[in-house]
Structure 1
Amino acid sequence: MHKFLSLTRVTLKNSMGMLSDGNSKKLTTILLYGFLGICMLPLMFALYFFVDTMLTNFHFLDQDATILALTFYICCFVTFFFAIFLVPSIFFFSNDGETLLALPLKPEVILGSKFITVLIYEYSFVFMVLLPSVAAIIKHGDLGIVSILAILLVFLLLPIYPLVLSSIISLLVMCFVPFFKNRDRFNLISSGCTIVLALGFAIYVNSASFTQSNPQELMELLLSGNNSLIAVLGYLFPNAIFAAKAIVENDILQLIFFLLISFVSLLLCLLLAKAIYFKGLIGFSETNSNRKKLSHQELGKAAHQKNRIITYTKKELKLLFRTPAYMMNCVATTFIVPILMLLIPLVQGVTIDASLLPQEIMAMMNDYWYYFLIGGIVIGLFIGNMGLVSSTSISREGTNLIFMKYIPMPLKDQLFAKVLSGVFLAVITDILTIVLFGFLFPIFPLPMLILTLAASLVSTVLANYIGIYLDLSHPKLVWEQEATAVKNSISGIIAMFGGWGCAALVGIAAYMLPNEIIKYASIALLIAMLILSCILHHKMDSFAFKQFKKY
């Protein structure tokens, strides 16, 4: 037990260092995470009102546990989804693997300490979902002693079962499929499979076969009461169902089942680790390199002098496309939105025939051009930092940041090239989104779509400049894996959620303000964005020079 506690403490200390940029003061880091927590409050309030409304509507049908089980189910599913990536990186791909193998430690002790680390990571999301859900259920009923005890235990133990599932999958894959022992290969294939599964799930849920299947059965389950609708959720995560019933029904037996599932699954995971963990931990590699010998002609062509900004931008883009972690987290995510826009309506059979609309409506759209302007601004703000390209461009340099100081190229040009790489990918997404939108809903005039695209370009450029300023202020230069530089970057998270928040504010303002004000406000906002982008570009060199002195 002493070895387990000591190793857990050391593992937690090292892993929490992944959340720091290695440069900022503790107070600054705490304030940034506090700001991020404040940004999550609207989402928590929205979830609370959703659960509260659902409980109000379903209470007279005696389906309270179904609503609570649904939130627990979502929590378990998202925990499992993120653990698929987090578990291998901490269990197998961390740099302490060889050191731990040389120490007199049992495999179950090592895996147990790493499991605690992953569990603490997951608590941040679990609490964000559980707090509003449990607050809503407390409001709607008198809870007994068993229910109160169940709430406390659910907060602590709900993520264990989905983490055990992902841990067992990782143990079996790493032990019996040596092909995945290359980190880049594993990240690329697992990320690709996850995106395909997520898209497939979204398409299936939105398909007619799902939404129209067995409506009579669902109605009978709904009206029969006694939380019978809970059977629709299935039993992939039975702990969520038992936890919900224990809280709503004040049932000690359901609580015991929940505890048994959590602890027995964890015990099985540790026994499996004892048998195969070391076998899976041995023989890992970082990357594979193909050493190609260049001919004299190829070398002369490659060394030919070109425009330095274009060359540096190509270097950034090649790095994004050739590094699997960056490819999946920065490039692939930017194309998910247009793909979903195209596939989901096609699966649902949603089409609009423009010939059926009166010509007066078609002509009227030209009079409301400012709404297309606002739409373009919202699209650019939403997509601008969604791929985390510019907002992690400094963090991705890591310990090689000194390279930027010594190459014979002005710092301003290097930073501008990094911004261009982010703008390039974001603009492609803007174009695809607007073109697909025009394809699915061919009722909008072509000039209005072009206006939307132009406005999105302006807001996209501004979003990327703000992203690189944030990363210059708080770069995450200390990391073990490329994915950490993107996923755990505070600047990237703030840039992405900040952009989404600004897009929401612009959209809400356009909805609430009268047309006459929107007409002039949209032009003023676009001009202000252009001016701010020019100012940020002009001041970027001096700001970066000041920040680079701190690194």
Structure 2
Amino acid sequence: MRKFFTLFFVELKLQLGLQTLKEGFKSGPKGILKSLGYLLVAALLVGSLGFLYLFLLNLVFEPAYLAGLSDTLLTAVVLLAMVLTFVFGIMQCIGLYYNRDTDFLFSLPIPQRTAFAGKFAPIMASEAVLNVAIILPALIIYSQYARVDMLFWLKSVVVMLLSAAIPLALAAIISSLIMGMTIFVKHKDKIVMGLGVVFFILYFLGVQYLSAGMTTMDENALAAMLTGGLMDTITRAFPPALWAAKSLVYTGSSGMNAFLLFTGVSVGALILSTFVAGSSFIRTSTNQGEAAKSEKRVNLDKSSKPQSAFRALLAREWKTVLRSPVYAMNSLIMALVGPIMVFCIFFIPRGDMGDLNSMVSMMGIPPEVTGYIMLGVAALMYFLGTVNSGAATVFTREGKAVWLLKTLPVEPKRIALAKLIFGLEISVIAILPLAVALYFMTPFLSILQLLLATLAALVACTPVVAGAVFLDMQKPSLNWTSEAAAIKRSRNAILEILLAFLYVAPNVGIVSLVMKLDLGMTAVWAALLVVNAAISIGLIIALAKCAPRMIGNMGEK
């Protein structure tokens, strides 16, 4: 146990960035200011997201209470937390097999299950903290509308801390199976990415089809569901969320039985996942490491083909990302989210009502509403394009090999611009599938409207992506030990999310101002394009001018 706790605390410090902050506070006044600045930015990001989340919860809890659905809403929040843990847990657990410190770790006298548990436990701890942040506000608001006692809060603490256990245990076992399936095949990284993508799609489609069935019922069944079965219905895709919710909202033996069931299964799932995934952790990790090295060998025939320096830099960025499942899944996952979301919303039947696309076609959409719909589409595209960890870590991914980048016979500004174009290409890859899906699945939207929304979203994404590249060029996190750490522990990836949220404000201001002046929807689109294009050009010029100094200082104390 001593070895486990030692490894756990080391990994936890790295996971939360505590070691970096500690070094910053010890490095003098400049380091202290930087560390305080990062803490302030993190507080602003968490505070803004928390305020928005609380506002939305308050908005929906009162009408839910009046409709007798406050228990159901609390269940939905618990379900949301557990599903998010499961989806992102898959990515984090796959990343465990690509850590660069595994060779050193396996050379130590540590059993492989202990090694896996020491790596897995910090993920569990961080996800538990995130779930507490999601569930606790809902519990506080729920307690204002329902009678709760001390036992409710005691059970709440246990449920919140264990809410990540079952989803992460499933993620660990599935990740172990995915990685194990690649042992005897060539091009392992590509197989891992393919299996991960297929599983991601199948899971979300399965959840949607299960939830769609709740509207396929007669009046008597609907009345029975509303009087007690709605919680069961919305959690059919993930029953552990029902156990957790029942343990909180039910009193007496029903609530206690659900609590004991949830607690027992959670602990059992963690033990089972440690046994299953830990039993093959060393063999699978070593195999993946060897595969990564073999697949990164240089093909002299291909490398000798003449091409421009700019194209070579761009190709290098793509090769780096596509050769790593961790980089690829974190950078390109948004390309799947948009089309799946559109398909689930418009084409999965909702009982006797049919699919939403059929309903909209029957009802029709007034012309004056179409403009607002397109603004919403552009906003969705903007968020898909700016959740872009690939752009926010373009220099961080160089790691300790950044000296090689500095010695290339290429102007630093061309290096910076190549990385910017790469980041914008990721945004395009995230946005275009959504536009194509909307074109084929929503006939009430014309191709010109979709092209306009897509163009506006891409132009609005450019300042955020350029700002993210600039931040990573100024202060890259080069001392990472694993590819997962380069993405997950990068402060610049967090800063980009904050930047994306902050940049919404001027765009909303532009739309509000033009509408207040009653200049029409054409003027709204023109103003958005002109202002965002001007800001983009200014940031690109600044990026090119600062590149020689910032790239030259990389890796130097």
TM-score scaled by structure 1?
0.80
Superposed CA RMSD in Å reads 4.2
Contact 2:128/2:163 (CA < 8 Å) preserved in 1?
A: no
**1:275-290 correspondence runs (5 A):** 277-282=278-283, 283-286=286-289, 287=292, 288-289=294-295
**1:282-321 correspondence runs (5 A):** 282=283, 283-286=286-289, 287=292, 288-289=294-295, 294=300, 302=305, 304=306, 306-321=307-322
Match of 1:56 among 55, 65, 71: 65
Change (3 A) 1:169 1:71: same
Shift in Å, 1:486? 3.2
Contact 1:381/1:502 (CA < 8 Å) preserved in 2?
A: no
Shift in Å, 1:200? 1.7
Do residues 350 (structure 1) and 352 (structure 2) align? no
Shift in Å, 1:35? 2.3
Shift in Å, 1:318? 4.0
Q: Deviations over 1:171-216 (max 9, x none)?
A: 5666787449997356414421333224424653686xx3642244
Match of 1:80 among 80, 86, 108: 86
**1:396-411 correspondence runs (5 A):** 396-411=397-412
> 2-side partners of 1:494 and 1:35: how far apart?
10
Shift in Å, 1:118? 1.7
> 2-side partners of 1:378 and 1:269: how far apart?
39
Partner of 1:137: 142
**1:526-541 correspondence runs (5 A):** 526-541=529-544
Q: Deviations over 1:504-533 (max 9, x none)?
A: 773586368435256666545533323322
Contact 1:384/1:459 (CA < 8 Å) preserved in 2?
A: no
Change (3 A) 1:264 1:313: closer
Contact 1:422/1:464 (CA < 8 Å) preserved in 2?
A: yes
Contact 2:396/2:476 (CA < 8 Å) preserved in 1?
A: yes
Contact 1:377/1:458 (CA < 8 Å) preserved in 2?
A: no
Shift in Å, 1:14? 3.9
Contact 1:462/1:532 (CA < 8 Å) preserved in 2?
A: yes
**Number of corresponding residues:** 532
460-469 or 495-504, which deviates more: 495-504
> 1-side partners of 2:208 and 2:248: how far apart?
33
Q: Deviations over 1:309-359 (max 9, x none)?
A: 23322333344444433333323423542464367434426169999989x
Partner of 1:463: 464
> 2-side partners of 1:354 and 1:382: how far apart?
27
Partner of 1:67: 73
Indicate the percent of aligned positions where both proteins have the same amino acid.
Answer: 22
> Aligned partner of 1:140: which letter?
Y
Q: Deviations over 1:217-276 (max 9, x none)?
A: 6413235x3x44333245775553344333333436634652454346535643674587
Partner of 1:119: 124
Indicate the SS of the match to 2:478: coil
Shift in Å, 1:447? 5.7
Indicate the SS of the match to 1:219: helix
Bigger RCO (CA 8 Å, 6+ sep): 1
> 2-side partners of 1:472 and 1:172: how far apart?
38
Larger radius of gyration: 1
Contact 1:388/1:486 (CA < 8 Å) preserved in 2?
A: yes
Contact 1:126/1:155 (CA < 8 Å) preserved in 2?
A: yes
> 2-side partners of 1:113 and 1:178: how far apart?
23
> Aligned partner of 2:205: which letter?
G
> Aligned partner of 1:309: which letter?
F
Extract unaligned runs of 5+ from structure 2. Answer: 25-30, 349-354
Partner of 1:220: 223
Contact 1:243/1:258 (CA < 8 Å) preserved in 2?
A: yes
TM-score scaled by structure 2?
0.79
Do residues 156 (structure 1) and 161 (structure 2) align? yes
> 1-side partners of 2:396 and 2:538: how far apart?
23
> Aligned partner of 1:80: which letter?
F
Shift in Å, 1:139? 0.6
Change (3 A) 1:192 1:20: farther
Shift in Å, 1:540? 1.4
Change (3 A) 1:335 1:93: closer
Change (3 A) 1:541 1:69: same
Do residues 89 (structure 1) and 91 (structure 2) align? no
